[in-house]
């Protein structure tokens, strides 16, 4: 399952809530300014409460931030 998610989560056999969460995280990562109330409502429709939505957002945002810091400093490159 981890390999399928790593390759392309959209093709992995995920339950609808997990897919909605990953759709939100992908949008937050790739086009953060386009995240809208509808995206939050979609998460709520899949059973995520405000606390869970905040946690999803904070974790994804932290990973995005720290990866950009590392990339900007050339960490891991020869």
* Strand blocks (E) in the chain: none
- Tokens 């992995």 label which residue? 12
Other CB atoms within 10 A of residue 28 CB: 17
Domains in the chain: boundaries: 14-72
- Determine contact, residues 30/64, Cβ cutoff 8 Å: no
Q: Which residues of 29-44 are buried (b: 16+ CB within 10 A; e: fewer)?
A: eeeeeeeeeeeeeebe
Tens of pLDDT, residue by residue over 41-73, are 999 999 999 999 999 999 999 999 999 999 999
- CA angle at 16 for the pair 13 and 21, rounded to the nearest 5°: 100
Fold (CATH) for 14-72: AhpD-like (1.20.1290)
The answer to whether the pTM exceeds 0.75 is yes
Higher pLDDT, 1 or 14: 14
């Amino acid at each position: 399952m981890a390999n399928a998610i790593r390759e392309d989560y959209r093709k992995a056999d995920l339950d609808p809530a997990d897919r909605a969460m990953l759709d939100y995280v992908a949008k937050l990562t790739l086009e953060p300014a386009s995240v809208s109330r509808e995206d939050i409502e979609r998460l709520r429709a899949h059973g995520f409460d405000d606390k869970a939505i905040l946690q999803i957002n904070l974790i994804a945002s932290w990973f995005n931030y720290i990866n950009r810091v590392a990339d900007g400093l050339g960490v891991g490159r020869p």
